[in-house]
Amino acid sequence: MTFSSNERFDSASDVPAEERPVNERKALSVSAALNIAKSIISENAFHIVGEVSELNQKPGYKAVYFTIKDENSALPCLMWMNRYKSAGVPLRLGARVEVVGKFTIFTPKGRMNFDVSSLKLAGEGDLRAQVAKRALMLKNEGLMDPARKRSVVAYPATIGLVTSPRGAAVHDVLRTLRRRYPLVKILFAGVPVEGKQAAADLISGLETVIRAGAEEVLLVRGGGSLEDIMPFNDEALARFIAQSPVPIITGIGHEPDTSIADMVADVRASTPTAAAEAVSPSRFELLEALDSFGARMSQVFLHRIERSINYVNAFENRPLFRDAHYLYANDLQWLDHTQARLEGALGRFGEADKVKLEGVGLRLTSALPHMITSQLQSLD
């Protein structure tokens, strides 16, 4: 700490001012006194825990202003917006937080604040340790093995959605699906996404939409603190996701942490909107796919028509189609040959019969007088 010479020494004496009685020291200006106090109190960093009792966070502000308290005292705090966003811990009234920073004085108003450099929820370290231990156990069992995970359905007819009925997540997903893939049927299960019973409610919601016929399911929620997303670190929920008969896609908007549900899910997206995009082909992609399919079908049909034309032309060039007699010429020749054979046979049979008849006639002629004479004699 440095003082100017006219503040440390009296002009008539070489005795330092701070060693003389207060009433004999030279008076400081308000600004000088506050600057001295500011330089003294800002030298050391402090680690403080307390409950958020006031919160002022407005659009356009460069900092977040809040107050933490315990049973006896309250401390006004500020945290610059870039630090606050990096911390990833949304403040809310009643939350117990741990802050690290330095005291500072806003000299124009003479107000003391605690300038927060880092922020986390109180007890968050224990929660992280629990989550890490559980995640390692499930990983060793193979629940996070990429080979186990399934791909999303290319063109699903029915998609399940499990999230809170209130909040931005459900609206973000529905808006995205209607814009990109309006033909899909959505089965919605509205359940609590935080609290002690939330994990059981999430499992129940998943069971409901799967039983109703969902081909794949979106499990989503908006941002929140580590404590808020603890239901998504539940062991029973993780095992249900791993054993689900249909793909489950998570979109849990909490960065930089990744929940166990994210690790086990078939597909993990960073936000509910990104999850909806992951399961829905866009309208433009569908049109492109249809155009491509139509072009391929046209090529197939044209190829088949061309083959049919070539096939007909090949038959047309055969002798059978150039001269119809070619079809039955052999049969006609066979008929002519058969007719000639029949006529020859009939001719031969006729000559033989004529000779026989003439012989019979001669015999009758010679025998007739004798037969008449015999008959006359018998009459006498």
CATH of the domain at 228: 3.40.50.280
Q: Is the peptide bond before 256 cis (omega within 30 degrees of 0)?
A: yes
Query: Same domain, yes or no, for 17 and 139?
Result: no
13 domain residue, yes or no: yes
Query: Same domain, yes or no, for 274 and 221?
Result: yes
Query: Same domain, yes or no, for 137 and 267?
Result: yes
Contact between 50 and 83 (Cβ < 8 Å): no
**DSSP secondary structure letter of residue 96:** E
Query: Same domain, yes or no, for 213 and 241?
Result: yes
Domain boundary among 256, 281, 306: 281
Contact between 122 and 49 (Cβ < 8 Å): yes
326 domain residue, yes or no: yes
Residue 32 domain boundaries: 5-125
354 domain residue, yes or no: no
Query: Same domain, yes or no, for 163 and 28?
Result: no
Query: Same domain, yes or no, for 120 and 205?
Result: no
Per-residue pLDDT tens digits of the chain, which is 380 residues long: 444 434 444 444 555 555 656 666 688 888 888 888 888 888 889 999 999 999 998 888 899 999 999 888 999 999 999 999 888 888 888 888 999 999 998 888 888 899 999 998 887 767 787 888 999 999 999 999 999 999 999 889 999 999 999 989 999 999 999 998 888 999 999 999 998 899 999 999 999 999 999 999 999 998 777 788 899 999 999 999 999 999 999 999 866 678 999 999 999 999 999 999 999 887 776 677 777 777 788 888 888 888 888 877 776 676 666 666 666 667 667 777 777 777 676 666 666 666 776 676 677 667 666 766 666 666 65
pTM here is 0.54
Query: Same domain, yes or no, for 273 and 317?
Result: no
Q: Which of 270, 224, 225, 222 is nearest to 250 (CA)?
A: 270
Phi-psi region of 184 (alpha: psi -120 to 50; beta: other; left: phi over 0): beta
361 domain residue, yes or no: no
Q: How many domains does the chain have?
A: 3
Tell me the HSE value of 281 on the side-chain side, using a 13 A CA sphere: 15
348 domain residue, yes or no: no
Question: What is the SS3 assignment for 186?
Answer: strand
Query: Same domain, yes or no, for 9 and 58?
Result: yes
Query: Same domain, yes or no, for 95 and 107?
Result: yes
212 domain residue, yes or no: yes
Phi, psi of 147 (to 5 degrees): -65, -25
What is the distance between the alpha carbons of residues 151 and 158, in angstroms, rounded to a whole number? 16
